[in-house]
Amino acid sequence: MRYTNILAAIAGALTCAVVLCEVAQAGDVYKYVDERGATMYTDKPIPGAVLVSTGSQRPPEAASRNYAATQAATNGQLAASNQRIADTQGNTRAAESVSKDLEEGTRGV
């Protein structure tokens, strides 16, 4: 019974350590040059610092899937926009043709 409690405590401590390590690695990293010209890195956004790495790292396949989905959505929007433009141009041509026919019809009478 006593060993079970010790093992449970050790397992709990290891679990907490792993979770805390993951949280510690999840922050943003900023790069700046100090007054002596040395390049420094920090997790605090200070004036003049440049964001080097974000804490939200994604695997390359997730990034490529996201890019592909974005491109597909953009292509769909462009296709719909092109279709609306083509429809508008077709309607304009038809309206011009009808008005031309009406003008010719009234002249002939």
State how many domains the chain has.
1
Return the structure tokens found at 68: 């592909």
Is the whole model's pTM more than 0.75, yes or no? no
What domain range is 89 assigned to?
A: 58-109
Q: Does residue 12 belong to any structural domain of this protein? A: no
**pLDDT tens string 27-65:** 788 899 988 999 888 888 888 888 887 666 666 777 778
pLDDT score recorded for residue 9: 65
pLDDT score recorded for residue 87: 93
Instruction: Please check whether residue 52 is in contact with residue 32, taking contact to mean a CB–CB distance below 8 angstroms.
Output: no
Q: List the one residue out of 28, 47, 50 whose CA is nearest residue 39.
A: 50
Q: Does residue 14 belong to any structural domain of this protein? A: no
Q: Does residue 11 belong to any structural domain of this protein? A: no
Q: Does residue 50 belong to any structural domain of this protein? A: no
The arithmetic mean of pLDDT across residues 98-107, rounded, is: 86
| C-alpha span between 83 and 45 (Å, rounded) | 46
Angle at 24 between CA 20 and CA 29, to 5 degrees: 170
Cite the beta strand spans of the chain per DSSP E: 29-33, 39-42, 50-53
Q: Does residue 36 belong to any structural domain of this protein? A: no
